[in-house]
Amino acid sequence: MPGGDLVAVWEVALSDGVYRIEFSHGTTTGKRVVCVNGREVVRKDWMFKLVGKETFTVGSANTRATINIEALSGFAYEYTLDVGGRSLQKFIDNKAHTTTTWLLKVDGEDCRVVLEKDTMDVWCNGQKMETMGEFVDDGTETHFMVREHECCIKATSGGKKKNGIVHWLLMDGEKVAALTQ
């Protein structure tokens, strides 16, 4: 774990899971430590330059992330996170347009199902699922199994141009509400 110099914590939701990024910055020693889900991925002791960037990867797709360290005034610093080449907020906003996420209980266990709309890949708790897609009268259906449960993501036109395509998840025939981003 980062220890006493922890200055920033971010939660980043990727298709394969939610990652907790912790950054420790020793402003007297110049030490920089980055941990992802409690695992140290960057450690630099005795950095003479207190400002700058630390770049690392997150998740199974090795998404590039950069922590920016900027001096404000005196000994105050600002820490920002870029993910996939965008500010964290822009990354989150883009992810809301390109993915749909559902949280559901399966046999008493929490499951996080993510649909990547551009590729139609489906992830469940960090595992890319084996899927079967088919065209139906009112759109498409993507079928997959979560344990012994039949799941289906239906995609249909939202009726109006600005609504675009609407996705919903059925587990054993029951509709599951999507997370609002």
Rounded to 5 degrees, φ, ψ at 42 are -140, 135
Residue 13: CB atoms within 10 A of its CB come to 20
Check whether residue 80 and residue 101 sit in a common domain: no
CATH code of residue 169 = 2.40.128.180
Average pLDDT over residues 25-39: 92
Check whether residue 136 and residue 79 sit in a common domain: no
| pLDDT given for residue 180 in this prediction | 62
Check whether residue 116 and residue 168 sit in a common domain: yes
Domain count, the chain: 2
The yes-or-no verdict on residue 12 having pLDDT over 50 is yes
Q: In this structure, is residue 152 part of a structural domain?
A: yes
Residue 106 gets which letter from DSSP? E
Check whether residue 74 and residue 129 sit in a common domain: no
Q: Of 100, 62, 56, whose CA–CA distance to 81 is shortest?
A: 56
* Residue 163 pLDDT class (50, 70, 90 cuts): low
Structure tokens at 79: 């820490």
- For 90-127, give one letter per residue: b (16+ CB within 10 A) or e: ebeeebeeebbbbebebeeeebbbbbeeeeeebbbeee
- Full residue range of the structural domain in which residue 23 is found: 6-84
Check whether residue 108 and residue 76 sit in a common domain: no
Cα Rg of the chain, angstroms = 20
What digits encode the pLDDT tens for the residues 145-162?
Answer: 999 999 999 999 877 666
Check whether residue 65 and residue 136 sit in a common domain: no
Give the end-to-end CA distance of the chain in Å, rounded to a whole number. 29
| pLDDT given for residue 162 in this prediction | 64
Q: In this structure, is residue 167 part of a structural domain?
A: yes
Q: In this structure, is residue 181 part of a structural domain?
A: no
